[in-house]
Structure 1
Amino acid sequence: LEKVPPMYVKQDPQPNAMCIGLDEPIIVVTTGLVELLDEEEMRAVVGHEVGHALSGHSVYRTILLFLTNLAVKVAWIPLGNVAIMAIVTALREWFR
C-alpha cells in the first residue's frame, strides 16, 4: 500500500471488522471487537483487513453492503429483489 488505510471504530456491541471503500479503502472495527481482543489479537485482525485492502476486496465488500441495503428497500416489489439477491449471494460466496 502506498499509504496506510484510515481506521475507524464503530459503536456496535457485535464484534466485527471490515475493509470497505470504493476509491480508497478504510478499515472499520466495532467497539465489541475492541473490548474483546488483546493487543496481539487486534494486530492480527488489522493485518487481515490490510490484506483485504491490498487485494482490492474493499470494493466488493462495499458493493455487497450497498446491494444488501437495496434488497431490503425493494423487497416489497414482487420479484424486485430476486436479481439483487442473486448477486448478493454470489458476492457472499466469493467473499468467504
Structure 2
Amino acid sequence: MPAPKPLEFRRRAVELTRVPGASVATIAKDLGISETCLRRWMAKDDVDAGRREGLTSSEHEERSGCEERTAARRWRSRSSSVPRPTSRRRTCCPQNERPAGP
C-alpha cells in the first residue's frame, strides 16, 4: 500500500479536477495516483463542503476517537476481571475423568 499523500497535495489534486474540462483520469495519471483514489478524495471534499451527505472529516475523527476509547475501556475491564475459560472442555472435567463418548 502506498504511503498517504499530504493533505495539501490532496486539496490541490481535488482543485484541479474542479476546473471545467479537466479529466479525472488524466489528472490522476499525471499525479501518479489511481483514479479511484482521486475520486475518493473528491467525494470526501464534497461531504466536507456540504455538497453531499455523509460524515465530515471532523465528525469521522470524533467518532474514531470515541471508538478507540470504548475499545480501550472494554480491554481494561476484561483484563482486570477474573479470567474466563476459553473452552468448556478444559474446565468441565480433568483429562482422565472425561465422560465416555458415543
Larger Rg: 1 or 2?
2
Settle same-fold status: TM greater than 0.5. Answer: no
Tell me the TM-score normalised to structure 1 length: 0.36
Tell me the TM-score normalised to structure 2 length: 0.34
Q: Which has the higher strand share?
A: 1
Q: Which has the higher helix share?
A: 2
